[in-house]
Amino acid sequence: MLSARQIKEQAVRAGADFCGIADIERFDGAPPDMHPATIFPETRSLIVYGSRILKGSYKGIQEGTDWSSYWVFGYGPGILNSMDGATEAVTELLAAEGYEAVPLMGGRTLQDEAPPNRPPVAEGKLPPCISIHTRMAAALAGLGEFGWSKVFLTPQFGPRQRLAVLATDAVLKPDPLFDGSLCDRCGVCVRTCPGKALGGDRQGVTVEGRTFEWGDVDYGQCKVTHWGLNPKASPFVQKDLPGMRMEVDKTDYTWFEAYRLGFALGEIIDYVGLLARGSAEHGAVSRPGSVCGARGCIQACNTHLETRGVLRGGSKQDGE
Ligand code: SF4
Ligand code: SF4
């Protein structure tokens, strides 16, 4: 019989920086199109693990000299591939004991990405764009809490990590929910975000008496900024398209519209196109890069939390 400890140790041995476990009961009340059991009905436990974003990956953007390091090692293929080892190792451990493991595609914006009104493949099925809320899964696995920015915060690395989720039919002891408090609602993320995308209406979920709260995010304004089309966050757009005067806070794009705009303009904004080609060379789908560098939601928040001395730092999972 596998223990939760064995699973977590395997994930960390194989490259994750931390790992936590939620039972499926904590997802009671989740919408069906965001519920793990919609993909894998036998799910009993969710294994959530993460890899830290190296602070150095932001340096080139801070210096105004290189935008590729964060894109590859902090956002896209490099850091995501770094969790593949943990996914394979934990899956093998579960399989050796006769359990299934189902890697779940994360992201809350996947539904926006799907073609609109995509029909179910059969009667009684949901449309095929189920989107597990990765950050919520991490909260339910006891790994940390939401910041007001809606970025997930851990006591080790604050806002600096990417997350992955495996669903399994193994019954594993869940971790207690995080009972600390990292986000002090300082508002630095909101004020520093060049896309004016953060700090909307309060949103929240209460599970087992623990309430997780965040401010709503304008995903369209974030996406056009993130893609480097907002002159307040990108030195490239004005250079290559001097006539373009996008006042991002006056735009009303959906996430999907902004997403597609980035691909279209990536063809004619040289540096955005360069990032797209660079990411393809690292094995990712060619796409515009993360030009904003998460200036508000990750960089400024991380500095704030470090200054307050609330981050534990460290390398691998502790307390186990
Ligand atoms: S900067 Fe970080 S700590 Fe401050 S409000 Fe935003 S998420 Fe919370
Ligand atoms: S990625 Fe950039 S635009 Fe988006 S929320 Fe973070 S700081 Fe704002």
- pLDDT tens for 28-43 read 999 888 899 999 999 9
**pLDDT higher than threshold 50 for residue 320:** no
Report pLDDT digits (tens) over 239-249. 878 887 788 88
Q: What is the pLDDT of residue 260?
A: 82
Q: What is the pLDDT of residue 285?
A: 46
Sheet holding 18-23, edge to edge: 18-23, 45-52, 161-168, 101-104
Q: Which of 222, 255, 302, when mutated, tests ligand 2's pocket best, judged by the most ligand atoms within 8 Å of its CB?
A: 222
- What's this model's pTM, rounded to 2 decimal places? 0.92
CB-CB contact of 205 with 212 (8 Å): yes
Report pLDDT digits (tens) over 74-106. 887 778 788 889 999 999 999 999 999 999 976
Give nearest CA residue, ligand 1 atom 2.
Answer: 301
Q: What is the pLDDT of residue 1?
A: 82
Tell whether ligand 1 has an atom less than 6 A from the beta carbon of residue 216.
no
Tell whether ligand 1 has an atom less than 6 A from the beta carbon of residue 184.
yes
Tell whether ligand 1 has an atom less than 6 A from the beta carbon of residue 147.
yes
pLDDT band at 319 (very low <50, low <70, confident <90, very high): very low
Tell whether ligand 1 has an atom less than 6 A from the beta carbon of residue 37.
no
Tell whether ligand 1 has an atom less than 6 A from the beta carbon of residue 246.
no
Task: Pick the ligand that lies closest to the CA of residue 151.
Answer: 1
Tell whether ligand 1 has an atom less than 6 A from the beta carbon of residue 265.
no
CB-based contacts of 193: which residues, under 8 Å, 6+ apart? 149, 222, 225, 295, 296, 297
Question: How far apart are the CA of 8 and the centre of ligand 1, in A?
Answer: 28
Report pLDDT digits (tens) over 261-307. 887 877 777 766 666 555 555 444 445 678 899 999 999 999 999 99
Question: How far apart are the CA of 138 and the centre of ligand 1, in A?
Answer: 18
Give CA–CA dist 264/53, Å, rounded: 28
Q: What is the pLDDT of residue 117?
A: 64
Q: What is the pLDDT of residue 185?
A: 98
Q: What is the pLDDT of residue 13?
A: 95
Q: What is the largest CA-CA distance in the chain?
A: 65
Q: What is the pLDDT of residue 284?
A: 47
When pLDDT is averaged across residues 142-159 and rounded to a whole number, the result is 98
Q: What is the dihedral of CA 223, 226, 227, 229, to 10 degrees?
A: 90
pLDDT band at 73 (very low <50, low <70, confident <90, very high): confident
Domain ranges of the chain: 4-308
Give nearest CA residue, ligand 1 atom 6.
Answer: 189
CB-CB contact of 99 with 2 (8 Å): yes
Q: How buried is residue 186: exposed, middle or buried, by Cβ count under 10 Å (0-12/13-18/19+)? A: middle
Tell whether ligand 1 has an atom less than 6 A from the beta carbon of residue 304.
yes
Task: Pick the ligand that lies closest to the CA of residue 198.
Answer: 2
Give nearest CA residue, ligand 1 atom 4.
Answer: 186
**pLDDT higher than threshold 90 for residue 171:** yes
Q: Which atom of ligand 1 is nearest to the CA of 296?
A: 1
Question: How far apart are the CA of 44 and the centre of ligand 2, in A?
Answer: 35
Tell whether ligand 2 has an atom less than 6 A from the beta carbon of residue 294.
yes
When pLDDT is averaged across residues 314-318 and rounded to a whole number, the result is 55
Q: What is the pLDDT of residue 112?
A: 58
Q: What is the pLDDT of residue 229?
A: 85
Which residue bears the tokens 């006769």? 98
More confident residue, 1 or 207: 207
Q: Which two tokens stand for residue 6?
A: 């064995």
